[in-house]
Amino acid sequence: MSQEQWKSKIGFIFAAAGSAIGLGAIWKFPYIAGTGGGGAFFLIFLFFTVLLGAPLLLGEFVVGRRAQSDAVTAYKKFAPNSSWSLIGKLGIVTCFILLSFYSVVGGWIIIYLFEAIRGGLNGLSQDQYGALFGELIAKPWSTLLAQLVFMLMAIVVVAKGVQKGIEKASKIMIPALFILFLILVIRSVTLDQSIEGIEFLLVPDFTKLTSESILLALGQAFFTLSLGVSVMVTYASYLPKTQNLPFSAISIIVINILVALLAGLAIFPGVFSFGMEPDAGPVLIFAVLPAVFSQMQFGVIFFINFLLLFLFAALTSAFSMLEIFVAATTKHDKTKRKKRAWTLGLLIFVLGIPSCLSYGVLSDVLVFDKTIFDLFDFTVSNVLMPLGALLISIFVPLKISKSALYEEISLGSKSGKMFFNVWYYLLKYVTPIAIVIVFLDVLGFLDK
Ligand code: PFF
C-alpha cells in the first residue's frame, strides 16, 4: 500500500506541533507548576525539555522517517526478530489509556463552551467560578455526553486521513491560538498585583522542589512533546527525505515552550490578582480564565474564541493518539482506516467512562490513594511515557548505525557535524541516565 504523505514541509511542523500543544501546555502545565514549585518547576521543566526532550524528539523523527512505517513495524525494520517492537506496542497501549482520560478534559472544554455561549458564566464572583467548575464536572450525563462528542470529533478527522484532516486543521489552529494567547497575556499582566504572579512563574525558589515535583517536570516535558509513545515516529513516517529534521524538531520545541510560557503568564497573574491559590489543581484554568476574561471588554466573545481554540488544540493532540493505532492496525490499507478509527475511538470512550465519573459519582473510589482519573494520568505521564522515552533513547543509538543516523539528520555542513555529535551523545548517555536517576530518586534509592 502506498504511504500517505504530508502535503508541505510546514504542514508537518504544524501537525507535530499540534500533537504537542494541547491540554499539556494549556491546562496541565499551569496547575502542576502551581503545585510543584512555580518558577523552580518551570526551570526544571525547561531543562528537561531542552536536554532530554529535544534529542528524543529528533530521535523519534529519525526512526519514523527512515522506516517510513507505523510505530510497531518501524522498530521491527531496524531490529527484525527481536522484542524491540514492544516499544511501539507500549506506545499504543499508553495512548489508549491516555486518550481515555484526555477526552474527559476535552469534554470539559465543550461544557464550558456551551456554558459561555448560553451566558452561564457571566457576572460571577471569583469563588463562584471555582464552585461552578466543581458542579459542572460532577454531573454524570452531561460530562459523558461531552466526552463522547469530543471523541466523535477526533474519530471523524482521523477517519479522513492525515493530510486532509490533521494537517489542515493544525495550520489554522496554531497561529490563531498564539494570537489569542497574546491578547490574554496582555490583559492578565496588566491586572492589579499581576507582578506577584509573574514572579511566581519566573523567579525560581529551589527550596520548593521535591523528588516528586522533579518527576512531574520530567513527565510533563515528555507529555507536552508527545514523546515516548512513538506518536512522533508515526507522524515522521509520512515525511519525504527532503524535510530538515533538526529544524522541524527545534521549531516544535520553541513553539511548545512559548505556549507553556504564555499559558503561565495568562494564568498566574490572574491567580494572584484575584486572591486565589496557585495550587488549586485541575480547576485552575477553568476558574481563573473566565475571571480574567470577565475583566475585558467583549470578554465573553474572547472567551468563546479562546475555548474554541483550546478545544482545537486538544483535538489535534487527540488526533495523533488515535492516528498511532489506526496507522499500526491498518498498515496503510486506506480502506480499513475509517472502520478502525471508529472502532478504536469508541472503545477508548468506553475505557474513559470511569475517569469521567471519578469527578462525580465515583469520586470515592480510590486506588493507591488516587481517583481513577488521577491514577491513569499518573501512570501514563510519570511511568509509561518516561519508560517509553528511556527505551527509545536506548534503541536509537544501539540499533541504528551511526552513519544512517548521520544521513538522516546531517545538514551537510561543519556545524551540522557538531550538531549531530551533540545530539547523538545527549541521546545516548544523558537522556537514559537522567531518566533513571529521576526514577531512582522518586523510589527513594537516592535518599541519604
Ligand atoms: N502533547 C499533548 C499535550 O500536551 O496535550 C499530549 C499528548 C499527545 C501526549 C499525544 C502523547 C501523545 F502521544
3-class SS of residue 5: coil
Going residue by residue through the chain, which has 448 residues, state the pLDDT in tens, using 9 for 90 and above: 446 677 777 888 888 888 999 999 999 999 899 988 899 999 999 999 999 999 999 999 999 999 988 889 999 999 998 999 999 999 999 999 999 999 999 999 999 999 999 988 887 887 788 888 888 988 999 999 999 999 999 999 888 876 666 777 777 888 888 888 888 898 889 888 889 999 999 999 999 888 888 988 998 999 999 999 999 999 898 888 888 899 999 999 999 999 999 999 988 998 888 888 888 788 888 888 888 888 777 788 888 988 998 998 999 899 989 988 888 888 767 788 889 999 999 999 999 999 999 988 888 888 888 899 999 999 998 899 999 999 999 999 999 999 999 988 876 666 788 899 999 999 999 999 999 988 887 776 766 5
Q: Are 214 and 52 in contact (CB under 8 A)?
A: no
Q: What number does the ligand 1 atom closest to the CA of 224 have?
A: 4
- CA 127 to ligand 1 center in whole angstroms: 31
- CA 381 to ligand 1 center in whole angstroms: 10
Task: Tell me the torsion sign for CA atoms 438, 439, 444, 448.
Answer: negative
Beta bridge partners of 204: 38
- CA 137 to ligand 1 center in whole angstroms: 22
CATH class of 9-442: mainly alpha
Q: Which of 87, 94, 224, 326 to mutate to test the pocket of ligand 1 (most atoms within 8 A of CB)?
A: 224
Q: Are 219 and 48 in contact (CB under 8 A)?
A: no
Kindly report, residue by residue over 292-341, the tens digit of the pLDDT.
888 777 788 888 988 998 998 999 899 989 988 888 888 767 788 889 99
Rounded to whole angstroms, how far apart are CA atoms 252 and 100? 25
Q: What number does the ligand 1 atom closest to the CA of 25 have?
A: 4
- CA 382 to ligand 1 center in whole angstroms: 13
- Quick one: pLDDT at residue 271? 86
- CA 70 to ligand 1 center in whole angstroms: 18
- Quick one: pLDDT at residue 167? 77
- CA 93 to ligand 1 center in whole angstroms: 14
Q: What number does the ligand 1 atom closest to the CA of 22 have?
A: 5
Q: How many CB atoms lie within 10 A of CB 295?
A: 15
- CA 25 to ligand 1 center in whole angstroms: 9
User: Dmax over Cα atoms in the chain, in whole Å?
Assistant: 63
Q: How many CB atoms lie within 10 A of CB 308?
A: 17
Q: What number does the ligand 1 atom closest to the CA of 27 have?
A: 5
Structure ipTM: 0.99
Kindly report, residue by residue over 382-431, the tens digit of the pLDDT.
899 999 999 999 999 999 999 999 988 876 666 788 899 999 999 999 99
Q: What number does the ligand 1 atom closest to the CA of 314 have?
A: 5
Residues in contact with ligand 1 by the CB-under-6-Å rule are 19-20, 22-25, 95, 98, 223-224, 226, 229, 231, 317, 320-321
Q: Burial of 115 by CB count in 10 Å (0-12 exposed, 13-18 middle, 19+ buried)?
A: middle
- CA 369 to ligand 1 center in whole angstroms: 25
Q: What number does the ligand 1 atom closest to the CA of 231 have?
A: 13
Grid cell of 105 as nine digits: 478534559
Nearest protein Cα to ligand 1, atom 12: 226
Beta bridge partners of 367: 370
Q: Which of 32, 104, 223 to mutate to test the pocket of ligand 1 (most atoms within 8 A of CB)?
A: 223
Nearest protein Cα to ligand 1, atom 7: 226
- Quick one: pLDDT at residue 211? 86
Rounded to whole angstroms, how far apart are CA atoms 348 and 380? 15
Grid cell of 163 as nine digits: 493530510
- CA 256 to ligand 1 center in whole angstroms: 11
First and final CA of the chain: distance in angstroms?
A: 57
- CA 244 to ligand 1 center in whole angstroms: 23
Nearest protein Cα to ligand 1, atom 10: 226
